[in-house]
Structure 1
Amino acid sequence: MRTASTAKFISRKQSPRAIVLYIFLLFAFSIFIFVFNAGNIVEDHPAPVISIQSHPQTKFLQTADDELWDAPSRHGLRPCVKPTSRYKGKIYNFSLYSVAFFFWSSSFAEISDMVAVAHIMNATLVIPQLDRRSFWQDSSIFSDIFDELHFITTLQGDVRIVRELPKELELVPRARKHFTSWSSMGYYKEMMQLWNDHQVIHVAKSDSRLANNDLPLDIQRLRCRALYHALHFSPPIESLGKKLVDRLRMRSGKYIALHLRYEKDMLAFTGCTSGLTDAESEELRIMRENTKHWKVKDINSTEQRIGGFCPLTPKEVGIFLQAIGYPPSTLIYVASGEIYGGDARLSELMSFFPNLVFKEKLATKEELNAFAKHASQSAALDYIVSLESDVFVPSYSGNMARAVEGHRRFLGHRKTITPDRKGLVRLFDELESGQLRETSSFSDLVQQMHKNRQGAPRKRKGPSPGIKGKARFRTEESFYENPYPECICRSPHLSGYGMLNRDGRFPGYELQAMSVHGAAAI
């Protein structure tokens, strides 16, 4: 029956319309099968480049990561510290000596300034001595912190430097002199008359002795040679500093160095008590009253904070970095002394970024024993780690923060985010009062506020508008915070010590030989 029916069906003549319809359906079905299978092939074996470019979220995340970590463009700028053809090397009288005592809190600038002053005055410079009456009561000497021999030999063409005053001059009458702050070249030329009556000048105070601006180019470059080439840390400090950097890199390829200047002496000096208990505020007031060289006794803490003169608190730092866009997993090295308020205050930062690291956790007890009770040497370790970080963030613009920022600029404008404390305080208060919420709008405001505060090349800022007389010098940006344009040039060839390589260092120079030879300042 089935065979007969099939034969009958086949033998039946099909109409042309039916045949066309059959062919069309067969063709459509074939196209469907091809598209379906082709779709499965693309989905199972995606091309990585096409996938990343076509996925808007992936592209956004990649861009955001670049913005968080990449250094700003240096626009072809390079270090330039070589003397000009007009420069005259050391021309000194062997019987004239200048003895400098420096306070460790601003040693970076002080040592370099005294090298330049000795050159201007044709004096022999005696290795500076560390002030031991400071808050830290540190017994370190110059050679404990710096490579003394390297310091002397590197500058031998600029100024004569000796380790100590010759015995025949130890008892001669000295001119004890407090040179005027931010003085020009002409001032020190006049001071040379002191040599008429004295063989030794005792420089009792040496911080901010030279002007930031309007000095001869060769004097400015001498300051940079002293700062970035002559001042190497001592071998034990550089060795451990390099180990700390390597260990951070092993934990996470990138890290932030946070100079958290929330220590007892800084809060007492600035009179900042926001968020502290009454007992803590009173303790700081007594400390300030009992410190002779802190001239301002009565300070309005609220006015200090509104004016942006207070260090950011640990909690404020956490809010700030989160608003900038850093994820909670970010590795943060905390460069600081003992945080006022201890773990209770640090926990406020850790609630935002739990991956905090301190040198005490990064190094062994045996490694740190040599630096115990020597705050200056400990600060030098923090300086090294901060200098080599992917991103440097200071919570306050103190001496160390300015020195690190300037050094990072010199080495290739490495990324440094300087918080706008005055602007942030306003946003923090609005956030606290409920006028702002911790949402994208708050982050947008913070990011826009700091768009141009990330270490990109710019010329040094002059005095604040409206300030007249000598007071204007105090408002100028520090030469050591930004040595551009005198020591950073837009030249196709590096005028000084060779070309920089891609990561901002000099080829052939290891980290301990080039990038960590600055003076740390608390």
Structure 2
Amino acid sequence: MASNRGYSHPRRFIPRRQSILTVALFTTLAFVSSIFLLLYGFAPKEDDILKDDTRLEEPLQSQSAQQQVLLRFAFLNFEKKGFASWAAFVNGTVEFFMEYPVVSDENLWGASRSHGLHPCIKPTVRHKAAQGSDHYITVKSNGGLNQMRTGISDMVAVALIMNATLVIPQLDKRSFWQDTSTFSDIFDELHFITTLQDDVRIVKALPKELESFPRARKHFTSWAGMGYYEEMARLWKDYQVIHVAKSDSRLANNDLPLDIQRLRCRALYHALRFSPSIESLGKKLVERLRSQGGRYIALHLRYEKDMLSFTGCTYGLTEAESEELRIMRENTNHWKVKKINSTEQRVGGFCPLTPKEMGIFLESLGYPPITTIYIASGEIYGGEARLSELKSRFPNIISKEALATAEELEPFANHGSQTAALDYIISIESNVFVPSHSGNMARAVEGHRRFLGHRRTINPDRKGLVELFDKLESGKLTLGSSFSRLVQEMHKNRQGAPRKRYGPLPGIKGRARLRTEESFYENPFPECICRSKKAF
């Protein structure tokens, strides 16, 4: 039976003497004032201040007039953000600072220093565009949005290597989301074609005279290099059209010519721009987030039904929920592994962190309860009840459903890939990005944020965190400053700072080692991120 046990909660800090209350209020004042000045940059008007509210009488008795104004204004502002009372605001904020070590603003929100690094995707002088206009590659992209995006970028490079014309790919309509979107529904098709015209010829459809011609149908091998595709070019002797049944992970991460790697970056970061309707709404939602709360964390909470079923992760679920996921996994034909040990998956760090675990994690890193968190995901398995375990620590949780109007979202209804594109835009533009699982979106967003200047991206050490969470559950650890320091030390080098891409894990031989390499799209350094003449 799946475990439903929770973690022990931190002790509640309740001021009992006037001296303690005064210290607490001054701590709160300093914190609120800095937030207020940062977000608004001006003093509150008298009309904005609640003057007669019995909730404020006792806490304000010993404060100066100026302090009372700031504290009253802060209460009103944060009351709108979900704090039901002054006591909840004061006690919650003071408790946080009493229980957890204060982390500097720069260490919470600042981007990693770029050390003179900058994007570099221009072709070298040796670059040559594809010339094979009479050879065509058709593609069936597979997977969700970001699996398709990186796969399409691979196919652009493959078309160049094989000297072929690329036909606009068909998108996956059989994935979990059952999305019927076409290429032009999600991407700016004309921009894609014109941006890459100096690299590869791209056409919207196969010429009619070739539609009835026999095609070479190929499942290109995973993580293939130049030699493989140069060998595949022999197919042009017998066929004019090659159909590729899958597009994901068709190219090696490493050991490819510089121009091929940079072409992959041009395709992904410049050519595959989202459609105008998606781009427009995505930018509006980012602006609304910033106007409401200033800085925000984009949390890719991959606690969705398909991911839990695919990974076989049932920790914290009911017996009925665990059985529902097992049945789904057994009935999904293209998922190869049917029987999975959920406990082994979790201990190995292969499971998405739960909403409750993500709350503890962010709290331990030093983010205060008032932090604005945007949930970038589909429907959370278990619904609002499970999401409330995160909201109990961070009340200011926002989703696209709350951020956009029903009319704005209506065109995207039942199109999971299009709503995922909105999440992608908001995640790229966030001050901090945190994924609960290292899936396709997490890797793609991290790579893009590295490309754009190593924006802060916190990659949870799930295996290490599970060990700490289990100690919390068994009573060997308690939440507070000691636990927080353990979490912060564990993640000091997991926040998106510049580094070269990891190679294969040691001790693994043959083609199996390729699977263990860090994805090119997760970290396009050094090929697409260059160092200036200044020292690193």
In the other structure, the counterpart of 2:104 is: 64
In structure 2, distance between residues paired with 1:279 and 1:164: 47
Q: Is the aligned partner of 1:181 residue 2:222? A: yes
User: How many percent of aligned residue pairs carry the same amino acid?
Assistant: 76
Match of 2:349 among 285, 301, 308: 308
Instruction: Please give the per-residue CA displacement for 1:382-406, whole angstroms capped at 9, x wherever unaligned.
Output: 0000000000000000001100000
In the other structure, the counterpart of 2:137 is: 98
In the other structure, the counterpart of 1:498 is: none
Instruction: Please give the per-residue CA displacement for 1:260-312, whole angstroms capped at 9, x wherever unaligned.
Output: 00000000000000011111111111111111111011110000000000000
Q: Is the aligned partner of 1:151 residue 2:192? A: yes
**What amino acid maps onto 2:126 in structure 1?**
R
Match of 2:269 among 223, 228, 232: 228
Q: Is the 8 A contact 1:104 1:376 kept in 2?
A: no
Q: Is the aligned partner of 1:125 residue 2:181? A: no
**What amino acid maps onto 2:206 in structure 1?**
L
In the other structure, the counterpart of 1:516 is: none
In structure 2, distance between residues paired with 1:147 and 1:279: 43
In the other structure, the counterpart of 2:521 is: 480
Match of 1:287 among 323, 328, 331: 328
**What amino acid maps onto 1:87 in structure 2?**
H
In structure 1, distance between residues paired with 2:159 and 2:209: 20
SS at match of 1:417: coil
Matches within 5 A, 1:164-313: 164-313=205-354
In structure 2, distance between residues paired with 1:319 and 1:342: 19
In the other structure, the counterpart of 1:410 is: 451
In structure 1, distance between residues paired with 2:345 and 2:421: 29
Q: Is the 8 A contact 1:220 1:487 kept in 2?
A: yes
> What displacement does 1:469 show?
1.1
Pairs aligned (count): 437
**What amino acid maps onto 2:527 in structure 1?**
E
Match of 1:84 among 124, 134, 157: 124
**What amino acid maps onto 2:381 in structure 1?**
Y
SS at match of 1:107: helix
SS at match of 1:135: coil
**What amino acid maps onto 1:95 in structure 2?**
D
Matches within 5 A, 1:462-477: 462-477=503-518
In structure 1, distance between residues paired with 2:343 and 2:308: 13
Structure 2: segments with no counterpart, 5+ residues:
1-96
Instruction: Please give the per-residue CA displacement for 1:182-227, whole angstroms capped at 9, x wherever unaligned.
Output: 0000000000011111111110011000000000011000000101
Structure 1: segments with no counterpart, 5+ residues:
1-56, 494-522
**What amino acid maps onto 1:165 in structure 2?**
L
In structure 2, distance between residues paired with 1:439 and 1:342: 28
SS at match of 1:130: coil
In the other structure, the counterpart of 1:344 is: 385
In structure 1, distance between residues paired with 2:518 and 2:117: 20
- Residue range with higher mean Cα deviation, 175-184 or 95-104: 95-104
**What amino acid maps onto 2:112 in structure 1?**
P
> What displacement does 1:487 show?
0.3
In the other structure, the counterpart of 2:76 is: none
Q: Is the 8 A contact 1:103 1:130 kept in 2?
A: yes
SS at match of 1:201: strand
Match of 2:425 among 384, 389, 400: 384
> What displacement does 1:127 show?
0.3
In structure 2, distance between residues paired with 1:382 and 1:235: 15
Q: Is the 8 A contact 1:116 1:219 kept in 2?
A: yes
Q: Is the 8 A contact 1:307 1:422 kept in 2?
A: yes
Instruction: Please give the per-residue CA displacement for 1:459-515, whole angstroms capped at 9, x wherever unaligned.
Output: 00011111111111111000000000000000249xxxxxxxxxxxxxxxxxxxxxx
> Cα 1:280–1:162, aligned 2, differ >3 Å: closer, same or farther?
same
In structure 2, distance between residues paired with 1:104 and 1:154: 24
What value does the CA root-mean-square deviation take over the aligned residues?
A: 1.7
SS at match of 2:169: strand
- Residue range with higher mean Cα deviation, 101-110 or 388-397: 101-110
- Residue range with higher mean Cα deviation, 130-139 or 308-317: 130-139
In the other structure, the counterpart of 2:31 is: none
> Cα 1:285–1:483, aligned 2, differ >3 Å: closer, same or farther?
same
**What amino acid maps onto 2:523 in structure 1?**
N
Instruction: Please give the per-residue CA displacement for 1:422-472, whole angstroms capped at 9, x wherever unaligned.
Output: 000000000110100101110000000000000000000011111111111
Q: Is the 8 A contact 2:119 2:452 kept in 1?
A: yes
In the other structure, the counterpart of 1:20 is: none
Match of 1:427 among 440, 456, 468: 468
> What displacement does 1:130 show?
0.8
SS at match of 1:176: strand
In the other structure, the counterpart of 1:25 is: none
In the other structure, the counterpart of 1:489 is: 530
**What amino acid maps onto 1:72 in structure 2?**
S
> What displacement does 1:61 show?
9.2
Flag as ranges the 4+ runs of structure 1 deviating above 2 A: 60-63
In structure 1, distance between residues paired with 2:177 and 2:197: 32
In structure 1, distance between residues paired with 2:102 and 2:459: 24
Instruction: Please give the per-residue CA displacement for 1:83-138, whole angstroms capped at 9, x wherever unaligned.
Output: 1111112221x221100111242012101000000000011100011111111111
Instruction: Please give the per-residue CA displacement for 1:308-350, whole angstroms capped at 9, x wherever unaligned.
Output: 0000000000000000000011000000000000011001010
Instruction: Please give the per-residue CA displacement for 1:371-422, whole angstroms capped at 9, x wherever unaligned.
Output: 0110000000000000000000000000011000000000000000000000
In structure 2, distance between residues paired with 1:401 and 1:340: 19
In structure 2, distance between residues paired with 1:467 and 1:307: 18
Q: Is the 8 A contact 2:137 2:167 kept in 1?
A: yes
**What amino acid maps onto 1:246 in structure 2?**
E
In structure 2, distance between residues paired with 1:186 and 1:171: 30
Q: Is the 8 A contact 2:217 2:243 kept in 1?
A: yes
**What amino acid maps onto 1:352 in structure 2?**
R
In the other structure, the counterpart of 1:515 is: none
In structure 2, distance between residues paired with 1:103 and 1:319: 35
